[in-house]
Structure formats: structure tokens, C-alpha cells
Amino acid sequence: MRGRPTLPALAVGILLTLLAASPALASSYRYWSFWDGAGGRWQYATQGPSSARPADGSVQGFRFAVSKDAAAEAAQPRAAAGFAAICGSTPAVEGRKRVALVVDFGLAADAPAGEAPPQEAPRTACAQVSPDATAAEALAEVAKPLRYDSAALLCGISGYPKQGCGEPMADAEPKPAQPSAPQSAAQDPSAQDPSDGGPSAGLLVGLAAVAALAAAAIWQSRRRTR
């Protein structure tokens, strides 16, 4: 006959369950993300700008922001992905291709310390380049200077930002408030969601229960030894 779990075993089981259920502290990054424009919408690019070779009539987007390095959570360019609106007035030339580019320098809240976006609204341009040109080469035609790190990661467009490249930022770190934005829960420490930082109320209660079970186990073991 199998015995019932002892109090110490129950305590360990509860603790492991609580630790497994508690969310891990993820990180976001401050970086230039790269996007493909398709059907008027943005899709997170599956290749880097140095390897992607867009076809004539393509739309490519770049967005600087603090966001997660994932398609579902990265910040998209804030301008529409429309080729006609950007390159419609640029005539086609034989032996060249046209690539519509959207460069979004992002928000002041995402800027590195001591810097600010060169302009508030996204910049659009039509690059006319050779048929085998990469997206990075098309970008260089309209938004120099570009800055790369030793791993060929795109770090700066048109000189912005001046330094830094994909540095991690803790998700729990509050972003600076935008001058025109209303105060929000993420900016007001007194109104923050408990899940945004520190242990949750449920986790604290669970840990207290584990401590109580452990104390009971010690008391029970002492009774048995008397």
C-alpha cells in the first residue's frame, strides 16, 4: 500500500509548482528592426538587410524602438507599406530596380540617453539601384551614413543613434514618459500592475503556505522523536 505524501514532500511540490508558474523576467532590446511590406502591411523580415535582395516594386521598412526580438512583439514602422505612394513618381529605368523604403526613427521614449530621433514622422524614399542590390545597399542610397557592428548588425541609420547596438533592457524597467502622453500605469509607480515587477501576490501567498507546511513538518518530526 502506497503511503500518503509527507508534509515536506508536499511543501517541495507546491514550491516547484509556484516557481514553474511564475513568469521569467524577459528582456527587450533597443534596436533597428527590419520589415517586408506585403499587401500594404508589414511583416517581420526573415533575412537581414545585408542578405535580402528585394525585387523591383518591393517595400522595405526599418523601425528603431525598444521591443522584443520577435515578429509578434516588435514595433512596426508607423507608415503604410505602399509602393505607389513612395515610388509612384519615380519612373522605371531599364537595368535598375525601384525599392520603396520607410525609415521610422521611433519615439523619444525609445531614444538612448542624451539622444533624440532626427525627426518625429517616418521618412520615406524611393531607391533606384542595380537589380542585384541588397536592401542594405538600397538603404545606403537614401539614408547615409549607416553604422554596423563587427557582426554586421545594423546599428545606426542616418547617424542615429550615435552609439549602442541592440543592447538588452529589462522589461520591468519603466520607459520615460513622452511629453505629450498622458500619465499611464506603466509610468506611475503607485499605479503599476503587480505583475510588472517583483513577486505577485499569489506567489507571496504560496510561499507563505510553503513556509507554514515546512514549520508543521519540523514540529511533527520532533513529536515523533520524543
Q: Where exactly are the structural domains of the chain? A: 7-24+198-225, 27-169
- Residue 202: pLDDT band by 50, 70, 90 thresholds? very low
Q: Which residues pair with 157 in a beta bridge?
A: 146, 160
The dihedral built from the CA positions of residue 48, 50, 55 and 61, taken in this order, carries a sign that is positive
| pLDDT single digits (tens) 63-76 | 999 987 666 779 99
- Rounded to an integer, the average pLDDT of 191-197 is 38
| pLDDT single digits (tens) 154-173 | 999 999 999 999 999 875 44
* 95 has a pLDDT exceeding 50: yes
Residues recorded for the chain: 226
Per the structure block, which three cell numbers stand in for 98? 525601384
Of 18 and 75, the structure prediction assigns the larger pLDDT to 75
Q: What is the model's pLDDT at position 45?
A: 95
Instruction: State the Cα–Cα distance between residues 29 and 12, nearest whole angstrom.
Output: 36
